[in-house]
Structure formats: structure tokens, C-alpha cells
Amino acid sequence: MSLDLSLYDKIFENRVRLQIMSVLMANEEYDFSSLKDLLDVTDGNLASNLKALEKEQYIEVYKSFVDRKPNTRYKKTMKGKSAFEKHLSALEKLINHVK
Amino acid sequence: MSLDLSLYDKIFENRVRLQIMSVLMANEEYDFSSLKDLLDVTDGNLASNLKALEKEQYIEVYKSFVDRKPNTRYKKTMKGKSAFEKHLSALEKLINHVK
């Protein structure tokens, strides 16, 4: 019985990070307040999980001003995209193994 | 864009617990040392994760003696089976959403 989870990435062992990466996989970029609304999480929860992904270089941060208000946008990196795809394929293998 | 992870269960936010439940879904029961070999984890790591699943009543523990040696076996509960199936379906929805 293969239980190979070698592609499983501990960084994604978290609901909010799974959701953040899903959004960034499906979009070119996404800003902080839109992410916060979409995921329905607190500023602190979102910020700490974005920080963890940034620290791994799985996402990149872009700061600018929109109508003179600070705007922070996030994008996936190639490294993040690849790591997340591997993590999902590990989970998918586990799911198919159980079903 | 639906990111509904309401069926996502924080208890399964862990590689070893995912593997334990997969094994117990595919088998009537499994004993401690066989689980340890299969998952290639330390006694302490396996024991603490089994304890967490037991505390949630997702698995049951059966202690007996085999050839006068203590033998501890584990079985999934109906509650555990249902929670794990829901968790996997939440992950599956997320995976299909990203692909």
C-alpha cells in the first residue's frame, strides 16, 4: 500500500494557506483586502499566513498606491506554483488510494 | 469562486494523521508496530498523532496480548470515517477548483 507523501509540503498544512494558493493559482494577482473578504479571515490571520508563504518564496508582494492609498498585491512565484501542484498531487494520490 | 472548505477538518491538518486514517480506511484494523513500519515514523510521533485522533473519537484502541506480548490495535470509528471522507471531499473540491 503506497502512502508516499514525499511531495506533501508542510507549508501547505493549513486551511488559509491552501485557500490563498488556490486563489493565486486561479488569478494573475490578488490584493490583501480582496483576499481578506474572499477568505473571510482576520487581518492578522491572513497577514501571518501570507508572511509564511512569502518566507518560502512561494509568493511575491507588490506594494503601490491606488488613489493615494497603499495597496498590497500578491502573486504566486514559479517555485510556489510548482510546490503547490506537487502538494495537491500528493493529496490527490492519497484521496484516490482511500476511495 | 467557491473556496468553501467548511468540511475541512483541522484535526487532519497533519501528514501522519492523513496517513493513519488512510490506512485505517483501507483496513479493518492495524496494530501500532505495523503502522510504525508502514509510515516510517518514530514511536513518539505515531503515538501523539494516534492520541489526537483518539481524543476526537475518530479511532478506537484495542489492547490485548499476543504470545504474552502486549498488542495495541486501532480501528476507525464511524465518526472518524465520516469526518475523514468529508475532509477529503473538501480537499478534492479545492484540487478540482485549481486544476
- The ipTM (two decimal places) reads 0.80
Which chain B residue lies closest to A87 (C-alpha atoms)?
Answer: B95
Instruction: Write the pLDDT tens digit of every residue in A44-78.
Output: 999 999 999 999 999 999 999 988 898 999 999 99
CB pair distance less than 8 Å for B25 and A84: no
**In chain B, what are the domains?**
10-98 (1.10.10.10)
Cβ contact, residue pair B94, A22, below 8 Å: yes
Angle between helices B15-26 and B32-39 (to 10 degrees): 120
Chain A CA closest to residue B6: A15
Select the residue of A14, A38, A98 nearest B88 (Cβ to Cβ).
Answer: A98
Percentage of chain A lying above the pLDDT 90 cut: 78
Q: Smallest Cβ distance to B98: which of A3, A13, A26? A: A26
Please give the Cα distance from A9 to A91 (Å, whole number): 10
